[in-house]
Structure 1
Amino acid sequence: MQEYHILNGDALRNRFPAELNGKCITFRECFIDGPLKAQSYEQLLIDRSQYIKQEYNSTNQEYNDLVIKELEKLSNIPDNSEVNLWFEDDLFCQSNLWFVLHRFHQINKKNIKLYLVRPLNAFPYSYGHHSNYELIHIYTNRQKLEQLELWSNLWKSYADGNTTTLLQIATQLKSNYTHVRAAVDSHINRLPNNNSDGLPQEFVKNLIKQNPNLSFKQVFIAFQDKFPQYGYGDTQVRKWFDQYQKLV
């Protein structure tokens, strides 16, 4: 039986324990932001490539080399394999995990065993705080992942913007995967409505309003301290920073 590790990002891959056997696949998308729905898987990747090109000053070739080529490896995983999913509990990582599980449901491999390798409770949003020994420990205590169709529907509800169904599915998964409901709640809280731009956006707006001379670095550090459950990088927060600074 072949073994695979799907790692959410290069940071973990660069320090992945040499003691663990198996082939690594690096997931480099960021489904916390940008287009989520398309008529087909292929069209979604085209839309994502254009979005990443625009928002992250990248190129279509870079997206193909860094993202699509790694995604293609999912389809090439043979039947009867073990797949370990290394995704942290924050919304950034969870939305990526939901996509991966939806993709496995689409591919429909035979006798694939899926395992979730979650961080220690002390550091739910960061493998970076784990020692080599601790990374091996959480692998040893990995959780078998079942209910693949339900996970696939979780992604589809997320992509469709159907928060009612999203909450229902997260509640169904809650008994075995308690962190999913928290990620879904974080997602819903960030959505704009008639009274708010969204919880994290409002935090940035009010921080700048009260302290107009703060640098972006200061705002970003404050944001990370307040909302680690989102997993936002500096690019996402920078957009809000630039937007709200214009209003001061």
Structure 2
Amino acid sequence: MQKLHILNGEEMNKAFKSQGLFEGEHMIPFNEAMCAGETCETIFSEEFIKTRAVTHGVSEDDYRRITVEKLEAVFREGRDHLQLWFDEDMFCQINLLTLLAWLEQIGYEGKIELCLTTQQFEPLASYQLHVAGYRAMYKQVLINRAHPSEVLLPPLKKGIELYLHYKGLDNELVTFIKHHPVLSEEQLVSLMIETFQKYGLGDVQYMQLVRSVRASEL
């Protein structure tokens, strides 16, 4: 059985390699931040690539190289067992939802195991998954910004709740920024990363949010 490990991003990929995990097995990172910016219905279509490249401020060719081409390993060598390694925070769970939706979109029928980790990449729990229904859920959440009627996977349910709250105009992150007007951008970003770990956002996303909120206050 050909096993492929899909990891939530380059940092996890580096950590697993440094620990010597899965030697002889194939690991690829899912290089996206789907909680940021806009998206479209058909994942990795030309429209999707154009939209996501704008979000990340990269060329379409760079987006293909950094994100899309790495996932082509799913099609090679008859991969029939995927192990997905994702944290339980919002950032990772929205990436996971997108990945599962894409697997349904391409008609993947092999075995899928979700290995849930802490933000320090330590194992928490595992789930056996089937991709049916995730494409409709992706559209409902990321395009329509609506709550699905049912989400069976507990960390994904929490991640979706946080995402929809995050996308609201007046969420706790915005309130926090408004309550700390004297802090520099760098100080505030550092404090928010520490305070709101459940969102899993990085300095780039927080810096954009801080600048947006403060610009709207002028």
TM-score, normalization by structure 1? 0.77
- Cα distance in structure 2, aligned partners of 1:190 and 1:41: 24
Contact 1:8–1:26 at 8 Å: present in 2 too?
Answer: yes
Contact 1:78–1:109 at 8 Å: present in 2 too?
Answer: no
Q: Give the one of 145, 149, 171 matched to 2:129.
A: 145
Amino acid at match of 1:12: M
Q: Which range moved further: 93-102 or 232-241?
A: 232-241
- Cα distance in structure 2, aligned partners of 1:19 and 1:184: 30
- Say which SS state the counterpart of residue 141 (structure 2) adopts: helix
Contact 1:3–1:23 at 8 Å: present in 2 too?
Answer: yes
Structure 1 residue 19, shift from structure 2 partner:
4.1
* Alignment correspondent of 1:135: none
Q: Give the one of 224, 227, 233 matched to 2:193.
A: 224
Structure 1 residue 245, shift from structure 2 partner:
3.6
* Alignment correspondent of 1:200: 173
Aligned length: 213
* Alignment correspondent of 2:62: 62
Q: Deviations over 1:148-196 (max 9, x none)?
A: 21333221211222413x2x122xx0xxx22122112212222335xx2
* Alignment correspondent of 2:141: 158
Contact 2:7–2:86 at 8 Å: present in 1 too?
Answer: yes
* Alignment correspondent of 1:15: 15
- Say which SS state the counterpart of residue 188 (structure 1) adopts: helix
Q: Give the one of 198, 211, 216 matched to 1:242.
A: 211
Q: Which runs of 5+ in 1 are unaligned?
A: 131-137
Q: Which runs of 5+ in 2 are unaligned?
A: none
- Cα distance in structure 1, aligned partners of 2:67 and 2:128: 26
Structure number having the greater strand percentage: 2
Bigger Cα Rg: 1
Output aligned runs, 1:13-52, within 5 Å.
13-16=13-16, 17-20=19-22, 21-38=24-41, 41-42=44-45, 43-52=47-56
* Alignment correspondent of 1:78: 78
- Cα distance in structure 2, aligned partners of 1:161 and 1:199: 21
Contact 1:154–1:169 at 8 Å: present in 2 too?
Answer: no
Contact 2:3–2:82 at 8 Å: present in 1 too?
Answer: yes
- Cα distance in structure 1, aligned partners of 2:12 and 2:135: 25
Amino acid at match of 1:5: H
Judged with a 3 Å threshold, the aligned counterparts in structure 2 of structure 1 residues 206 and 144 are, in CA distance, closer, same or farther, namely same
